[in-house]
Structure 1
Amino acid sequence: MTKAFNNYEIWWVTGAQLLYGGDAVVQVDGHSKEMVEGLNNSGIIPIKVVYKGTANSSKEVEDVMKAANNDEKCVGIITWMHTFSPAKMWIKGLQDLQKPLLHFHTQYNAEIPWETMDMDFMNLNQSAHGDIEFGHICTRMRVPRKVVCGYWKDAAAQKQIAVWARVAAGVADAKNVRCLMFGMNMNNVAVTDGDRVEFEQRLGYHVDYYPVSSMMDYWKKVTDKEVDELVEVYKKEYTIKIDESGEEVYWQKVRNAARAEIALRRVLKDEGATAFTTNFDDLGDADINQPDFCGFDQIPGLASQRLMAEGIGFGAEGDWKTACLYRTLWVISQGLPTGCSFLEDYTLNFAGDRSSCLQSHMLEVCPLIAVDKPKLEVHFLGIGIRKQQTARLVFTSKVGRGIKATVVDLGNRFRLISQEVECIEPKPMPNLPVASALWVPQPTFEIGAGAWILAGGTHHSAFSYDITEEYWEDFAEILGIEYVKINKDTKTYEFKQQLQSNEVYYMLNKALR
């Protein structure tokens, strides 16, 4: 079980009824406890599954659903119908339920006991009947849920539950995320803007503006001793590379970056924030040459890189949607090996069937995806209100399959878009002073990039090597937002049809409310 999820639980509720007598319920209870114990001992599901007993009546269902809503440790409920469980008794409880739901269509015994099979056994082990009845009422009530079908001891079924459990934890965390915008989003940029009120109503994230001038109050209080101690950490964790700036300027800029990191950390901690955005046009005092200057020498890129690696959501140029989505991606990915990052589409490389897109940013790419130990470098950054040399981590990414994702505001709804990509090894780029990744959109550059554009995708994304589109599908299902995926099977004409059908669905859905 992943240590990061120790404060969370998944509740297991078994559906039954008293028609078959008390002895049957005792057997149902015993089987359920064994199954829950087996899931917890599998080593696959990262969150502890807690058995909450059998539900034999409408009142018992209602009580357990209300208890789940009020328990902060509970991030979701798994239901399974051991016997026939009349679905009308689930109505009130499902109406009350506010936590993610997974319906597990399984059975205690793997095979039918052919030689001893009798009516008692068949009545007791009636999941084929009970789960269909339960599924019907969920569909009639339009209850969003994940349905997993398979034997409870099989790794394939357990892995589907594990995906949902991670996503449920991410959804629970999202409801407590506060994202601070240090400055607003870039002027006239549509894709990084949107409806923050609806965003919180639908996805849970709370986004606030925070004045850079207020952060400067923290900046002023950072001591030289604290800066020195953090610089020593940098020396241990990264390869020191003093380049064209010279040693004196190099260490001055590294110290400036350390001071910015300390100040930023303290603001986030004091404000209870787990995500933030920056903007290179809002960095404190405008004139760096004034004797009483108070501000960053450039955007706090090194701080952003390091904070992302620790799970703090980040979005550049005021992109609060990507900042929040990255936070959720990091939560979902805890304990997985390969890493995640904020990334931006930068420049294209046309090379036939290996045509690709270089991903990077001015500074802020997370070192979790680095193939080698990152280099701590200082280079000039000539963009924004303050054109100065500044520190950053430079590296290239690992190779392998991955997935990018973004959330866009379409006015009448939010759309989550994911795309499978293949990260490939780039040719040497000795003059590129930032971190980067090179990937081939799936199924081909032409189809994949075109589909992303047709879907209204952003130039920023939350990227991961470890998760799959199943995670994002579960995330969208739980939150009730639109989801479209681009993968090796995508065909342009069919993808266009899906977008058109979705548009009609959401327009009608809004009209019928």
Structure 2
Amino acid sequence: MTTANKEVWFVTGSQHLYGPKVLEEVAGNSQALAAGLNESQKLPVKVVYKDTVKSSAEIHQVCQQANSDKNCIGLILWMHTFSPAKMWIAGLNELRKPWLHLHTQFNAGLPWGDINMNYMNTHQAAHGDREFGFIGTRMRKERKVVVGHWQRPEVLEQLNGWCRAAMGWAESQSLKVVRFGDNMRNVAVTEGDKVAAQIAFGYEVHAYGLNDLADSVNDISDADANAQLDTYFQEYEISEDTLKDDYARERLLKEAKLELGMQKFMDDGGFSAFTNCFENLAGLSGLPGLATQRLMAKGYGYGAEGDWKTAAMVRIMKVMGQGREGGCSFMEDYTYNMTDTVDQVLGAHMLEVCPSIAAKKPRLEVHHHTIGVKCDVPRLLFSAKPGPAINVSPIDMGNRFRILVNEVDAVNPPDNTPNLPVASALWEPKPNLKTAAAAWIHAGGAHHTVYSQAVTTEMVEDFADMAGVETVVIDDDTNIRSLKSELRYNAAYYHLKQGV
């Protein structure tokens, strides 16, 4: 998680018409506004003030600089005065970083007793931003528009969310996903066009044989694996029987080598997300359970059965949500609890659920795994903490990508599950299971998702806008008739958007 050096540039638009005195005030207010955003400590990245742009040449130059600056992940643009929008055409045409249009003004209230035309001309974002807004729409530029005084909590929260989406977009541009083995045989939704994904999202997907990974795992020394066991014993609940059992310790040592070997392989290759498949484990001691869970907790993305799209999205959403309360995990809708009161979904997977979503300290246990390589596999057991969350599914529609979001409320299980040897999350989908599941199926959502309590729906929508891909949201307002119409409209729009 390396976003400490990431920046969002704050650029104010004006023009030479107003003269040096007004432009000096504009610059001072803009510096104070950018400093105020930083001092609020509500944004996840540093806001960097840039000089007021007053001409086409200055606008074009700052856009070029933003494109080439590796730490700049986006721009916040604000028109303090009137900034004739034709000046912005060349710069916006060249700008490749996401941008947010902040429609605000420096002072919250008007000085009724002193207001004059000089004040009106200096503080005229009310129509300066409308002129700028027109050119963004006329040029069909995707951007975020945030309206309100810049010190208001709701405005800061929207800026925070957009900055996080920009962090995810920046990560997506440099992300590399490694596939250990291939996809699960005959499964449709985990397939997809990797070239199209790289064009749309920027991330690369690389495939390696299991022998390549096995060599990395086998290079891990017994001393390093034993040291890793000490970490396990400190961080998780573990029974005395497991601690004393030689066979369990041997399985834990193998799992430690899997974790360390996979991490070294990924770090050496610059990979931040990975997939594997229970059908393809030749040369490994088993399907990584605890190893995968711990790698996800460290920030790596993961997708089971070769699901590279979800693996990439897990990593992207971990970057977007870092520093916020709540975790992020690979997830699967596994089974239902349909009762007389409310219908619920029990989410889980064979082994791989991230402990960042755990309600309390996970238990480390060793249980038999019966799919793929049949052997005993260490894994962490826990239930997810209650509270609002989202399930996100990136899917390949053949001619475009769609990102599907379902808002859910996670709840505590009504009873213990002593015979369930995997981690799980219990949630109630919005607006209810009947509508949510039908909507998910109509939209073509996958059975794999990214489950997060740190990332919001709006952040995912902002990310999708940056990528120029479709977003479908299932929430309290969803009904099937309207959703089916939305899907048809979207199909027509995104088909036409691609051109001939």
Shorter-chain TM range is over 0.9
Deviations 1:44-75 (A, max 9, x none): 11111000110000000000000000000000
Q: Specify the code of the residue in structure 1 equivalent to 2:382.
A: F
Alignment match, 1:357: 345
**Residues 279 and 318, structure 1, Cα contact 8 Å, conserved in 2:** yes
- 1:102-501 matches, cutoff 5 A: 102-241=100-239, 247-284=245-282, 295-384=283-372, 386-426=373-413, 427-501=415-489
Query: 2:323 is paired with a residue of what secondary structure?
Result: coil
**Residues 345 and 360, structure 1, Cα contact 8 Å, conserved in 2:** yes
> CA separation in 2, counterparts of 1:263 and 1:6?
27
Deviation at 1:249, TM superposition (A): 1.8
**Residues 353 and 444, structure 1, Cα contact 8 Å, conserved in 2:** no
Deviation at 1:248, TM superposition (A): 2.2
Q: Specify the code of the residue in structure 2 equivalent to 1:156.
A: E
Query: 2:52 is paired with a residue of what secondary structure?
Result: strand
Deviations 1:444-489 (A, max 9, x none): 1100111111110011111111222111110111110000100111
Query: 1:373 is paired with a residue of what secondary structure?
Result: coil
Deviation at 1:242, TM superposition (A): 6.5
Deviations 1:364-394 (A, max 9, x none): 000011111111111111101x111111111
Greater Cα shift, 186-195 or 114-123: 114-123
Query: 1:152 is paired with a residue of what secondary structure?
Result: coil
Counterparts in 2 of 1:246 and 1:191: CA distance versus 1, 3 Å: farther
Alignment match, 2:57: 59
Indicate whether 1:32 and 2:30 are aligned.
yes
Runs of at least 4 residues of structure 1 off by over 4 A? Answer: 242-246
**Residues 256 and 296, structure 1, Cα contact 8 Å, conserved in 2:** no
> CA separation in 2, counterparts of 1:504 and 1:246?
63
> CA separation in 2, counterparts of 1:275 and 1:146?
28
TM-score scaled by length of structure 2: 0.98
Q: Specify the code of the residue in structure 1 equivalent to 2:8.
A: I
> CA separation in 1, counterparts of 2:324 and 2:398?
35
**Residues 242 and 365, structure 2, Cα contact 8 Å, conserved in 1:** no
> CA separation in 2, counterparts of 1:400 and 1:117?
48
**Residues 242 and 377, structure 1, Cα contact 8 Å, conserved in 2:** no
**Residues 218 and 257, structure 2, Cα contact 8 Å, conserved in 1:** no
Alignment match, 1:289: none
Deviation at 1:330, TM superposition (A): 0.4
Counterparts in 2 of 1:357 and 1:243: CA distance versus 1, 3 Å: farther
Deviation at 1:353, TM superposition (A): 4.2
Q: Specify the code of the residue in structure 1 equivalent to 2:447.
A: H
TM-score scaled by length of structure 1: 0.95
Equivalences, count? 499
Q: Specify the code of the residue in structure 2 equivalent to 1:28.
A: V
Alignment match, 1:13: 11
> CA separation in 1, counterparts of 2:123 and 2:449?
47
Counterparts in 2 of 1:438 and 1:269: CA distance versus 1, 3 Å: same
Q: Specify the code of the residue in structure 2 equivalent to 1:221.
A: D
Which structure 2 segments of 5+ residues have no match? none
- What is the alpha-carbon root mean square deviation over aligned residues? 1.4
Deviations 1:241-292 (A, max 9, x none): 36799812211111110011111111001111000001112212xxxxxxxx
Q: Specify the code of the residue in structure 2 equivalent to 1:497.
A: S
**Residues 328 and 451, structure 2, Cα contact 8 Å, conserved in 1:** yes
Greater Cα shift, 102-111 or 245-254: 245-254
Query: 1:306 is paired with a residue of what secondary structure?
Result: helix
> CA separation in 2, counterparts of 1:60 and 1:251?
65
Counterparts in 2 of 1:6 and 1:136: CA distance versus 1, 3 Å: same
Q: Specify the code of the residue in structure 2 equivalent to 1:97.
A: L
